[in-house]
Structure 1
Amino acid sequence: MAGSTSKRYPAELKARAVRMVAERPADETEWAAIKRIAPLLGVGTPETLRKWVRQAEIDSGSREGVTTAESEQVRRLKREVAELKRANSILKAASAFFAAELDRPSV
């Protein structure tokens, strides 16, 4: 995944950044807080932090969307399906090979 930030930023940093946005002063908008906090914590762009905030809202149930756990399960199942398809094609090829061997007249 080219845009994935899971490798670049530790989970603790993400959680802290999201918490700081949630605990912003009452007179500060969410976007203003995001723009202020992102550079403080060394987050590349405010948009990255905004996405973390949105995902945290989804994960907590306060916003509609696909949770992190659901996304991981889908990724895991897709990998498993791909692996099973590869194994199935190998078995089909082996089956065709052995069927051809059985059909050959013995000399």
Structure 2
Amino acid sequence: MARRKRRSFSAEFRAEAVRLCQVGDRSIAKIAKDLDLTETVLREWVRADEVNVGREKPPEALTSTERDELVRLRRENKRLQMERDILKKAAAFFAKESE
């Protein structure tokens, strides 16, 4: 089986695909086939939407905004740690120089 080329989809397309799944008149497998998607990716979109709107929230699940904030905070934390390390080295250098 040949691998499918990685595609990207707009937020509107994803939202419409999820909406079709929530209507419930067709199975996720049928909708995925009709939209030329894999069933797995469509199920992931539906699960992510359920977490984002608060319908289902397993303890380890993060909403999109929480995930974005986590990425931002990790980046900021790394920058602050680097700044702290630089200041420690500078303080040690100047303390050594003043002896």
Q: Same fold by TM (over 0.5)? A: yes
Q: Give the corresponding residue for 1:8.
A: 8
Q: Does 1:64 align with 2:57?
A: yes
Q: Give the corresponding residue for 2:31.
A: 37
Determine the C-alpha separation between the residues in 2 that align with 1:85 and 1:61.
34
Per the normalisation by structure 1, the TM-score is 0.72
Provide Cα deviations, 1:6-60, integer angstroms capped at 9, x if missing partner: x9222111111111111231xx4xxxx22222243343x2111111101111111
Percentage of matched positions with identical amino acids: 37
Write the letter of the residue equivalent to 2:55: S
Provide the secondary structure at the position in 2 that maps to 1:99.
helix
1:1-107 to 2 correspondences below 5 Å = 8-25=8-25, 28=26, 33-43=27-37, 45-65=38-58, 66-103=62-99
Provide Cα deviations, 1:44-94, integer angstroms capped at 9, x if missing partner: x21111111011111111112421111211121111111111111111111
**What RMSD over aligned residues (CA atoms) do the two structures have, in Å?**
2.0
Determine the C-alpha separation between the residues in 2 that align with 1:21 and 1:41.
12
Relative distance call for 1:36 and 1:91 in structure 2 (3 A) is same
State how many pairs are aligned. 91
Structure 1: 4+ residue segments shifted above 6 A: none
